[in-house]
Homo-oligomer: A and B are copies of this chain.
Amino acid sequence: MRDPKASSTIRPEAIIIVTGSELVRGELADENGPFLAAELARLGLACRRITIVGDDPGLLESAIAEGLDADLCVISGGLGPTHDDRTIELLAKAAGRELHVDLELERAIDLVGRRYARNVGSAYHAFQAGVRKQASIPEGAHVLGLAGTAPGVTLEREGRVAVALPGPPNELQGLWPAALASEPVHNVLVRVPPFEHRVLRFYGLSESTLAAALEQAGGESGGVTVTICARERELIAEIFVEPGAEARAGELEDALAAADPDTLFSRDERPIEEIVLELARERRLTLASAESCTGGFVAGRMTGVPGASDVFLGAIVAYANEIKEGLLGVSTETLARHGAVSAECALEMAEGARRALGADVAVSVTGVAGPGGGSSEKPVGLVFLCAAGPDGRLEQEITFSGGRDQIRRYASVAALHLLRRLLTHFRHIEV
């Protein structure tokens, strides 16, 4: 609707379309929307919406037709060989272009199909049917390359660009650099005006308190936009600054930071596990975890960071009490007197993990994840944590609300933040 060339200070707009019937039936959570949205935000485009739609031709076509109205429309999924893969055909229809078979593309897909059939020991005829279908692209479209047998495609139309990419996240992400490097997409990206983005992250602060601090400082104004959102019990304030509004942005940033300085832990977007690993690395300390109710989530997050192995040694998931006793050395008396969900047990688990895993610092988590197993004394959501290091310990008791998965995730985040606090205050001991 709006003229893409109207003003050079307006950010080009993008629409993301994700297709897959399993997504609108809730059988799978989409990963491509978040990936593409983060990429587009990083590049400075404004994402109008993410539309998730099934493979019904009418609904998919109307979603694509809406998408073609944006400066950049990225479509994921529906490029496969099966009957319900209809993206390219409907993109052509929505754009008013004919489909034609790209002979070079057909040869390339044929080759990949033959190789794959050989590898999995499958008969090639199962693949052959899909080759011509996958080699058919709209008139004027350009091929970005193949992911498996699926081609990524760009289509330019009156200064607006559509990009179709395969649905499997690794294939989409594999073709994404080629999409960015392609001439049509590049021509959209050069229209992005300069902009700035600041982040403040808090742990242990209420959303209302931060909203009140923003209000008292005069709120959004003069080219500064602020969003506040809670995520896994972290509170994230983002400040978007138009050119010339740096001074006003600085005022708001200071006011937000002053809302509760003790809870402000980061001014960048690195996940908490990366912050913890870096703190330990700087202090030359190794890390480990002892987990009961979180069942390995803390270790899973730590080891998700590339290069974690120089700091993070490992974990003991002590789900059964026998393992708490046998491997972590939690005393039989502690378990009998206080139970596995207790501050005493958390403390012995953390010290036991340091010993058993040979780590300088260990964090432990034990709690009632539910839905069963709660009591009036120890309700579902009650979690005890302990971070123990060479110069001291931090202990914490929290009761989380929510379902089993949420309690486990929140408890993992709490464990990571407890480690952060312990490491931040670590008094370096010269050896």
Chain A residues with a Cβ under 8 A of chain B: 20-31, 33-41, 47-56, 59, 63, 80-84, 116, 120, 122, 125-127, 129-130, 168-170, 173, 206-209, 211-212, 214-215, 219-220, 227-231, 236, 238, 269, 289, 291, 293-300, 302-304, 306-309, 312-320, 322-323, 326-327, 356-358, 369-372, 401-406, 408
Q: How far is the CA of A318 from the CA of B313 in the complex (A)?
A: 7
B24 touching A228, Cβ below 8 Å: no
- Minimum Cβ distance to chain B for residue A66 (Å): 10
Query: Are A34 and B26 also in contact (CB < 8 A) when A59-B49, A322-B358 are?
Result: yes
* Residues in B whose Cβ lies below 8 Å from that of A404: 304, 306
Question: Could you say which residues of chain B place their CB within 8 Å of the CB of A319?
Answer: 299, 303, 308-309, 312-315
Given contacts A219-B83, A295-B302, A372-B307, contact A206 B28 (CB under 8 A): no
Chain multiplicity (copies): 2
The 8 A-B residue pairs with the shortest CB-CB distance, nearest first, are: A296-B296, A295-B303, A26-B38, A26-B37, A170-B402, A296-B299, A315-B317, A126-B212
Identify which of B50, B312, B406 contacts A23 (C-beta below 8 A): B50
CA distance A126 to B212 in the complex (A): 5
Q: Does A170 lie within 8 Å of B401, measured CB to CB?
A: yes
Contact pick for A317, options B34, B53, B125, B296, CB 8 Å: B296
Given contacts A48-B24, A296-B299, contact A370 B236 (CB under 8 A): no
Which among B207, B212, B296 is the interface contact of A80 at CB below 8 angstroms?
Answer: B207
Known contacts A48-B59, A296-B300, A315-B319; can you find 9 more A-B pairs with CB under 8 A?
A22-B229, A29-B33, A49-B63, A50-B51, A168-B230, A170-B406, A308-B319, A312-B319, A315-B317
Contact partners of A322 in chain B: CB under 8 A: 313, 358
Instruction: Tell me which residues across on chain B come within 8 A of A84, comparing CB atoms.
Output: 227-228
B-side contacts of A49, CB under 8 Å: 24, 51-54, 59, 63
**CA A30 to CA B30, docked complex, whole Å:** 8
Find the B residue at minimum CB distance from A199. Answer: B27
- Inter-chain contacts of A56 with B (CB < 8 A): 48
A295 CB to closest chain B CB (Å) equals: 3
A59: which B residues are within 8 A, CB to CB? 48-49
What is the CB-to-nearest-CB distance from A322 to chain B, in angstroms, rounded to a whole number?
Answer: 6
Q: Give every chain B residue within 8 A of A35 (Cβ-Cβ).
A: 26
Contact A403 B170 (CB under 8 A): yes
How far is A347 from B351 in the complex, measured between Cα atoms in Å? 30
Contact between A130 and B208 (Cβ–Cβ < 8 Å)? Answer: yes
Which of the residues B24, B303, B327 comes within 8 Å of A296, measured between beta carbons?
B303
A173 vs B22: C-alpha distance when bound (angstroms) = 21
The answer to whether A208 and B127 touch across the interface, beta carbons within 8 angstroms, is yes
- How near does chain B come to A143, taking the closest CB pair, in angstroms? 21
- A52: which B residues are within 8 A, CB to CB? 33, 49-52
Residues of B within 8 A of A129 (CB): 212, 215
Say whether, besides A49-B59, A236-B27, A295-B303, A22 and B231 are in contact (CB < 8 Å). yes
Q: A406 and B212 in contact (CB under 8 A), knowing A50-B52, A229-B28, A236-B22?
A: no
**Contact call B317/A21, Cβ cutoff below 8 A:** no
Query: When chains A and B are docked, how far (Å) is the Cα of A306 from the Cα of B314?
Result: 25
Sample 28 A-B pairs with CB under 8 A, ordered by A number.
A22-B231, A22-B238, A23-B50, A24-B48, A26-B35, A30-B33, A33-B52, A49-B53, A49-B54, A81-B211, A82-B228, A130-B211, A169-B406, A170-B401, A289-B317, A291-B296, A295-B296, A295-B302, A295-B303, A296-B296, A296-B298, A304-B408, A313-B319, A313-B320, A314-B318, A317-B317, A322-B358, A327-B327
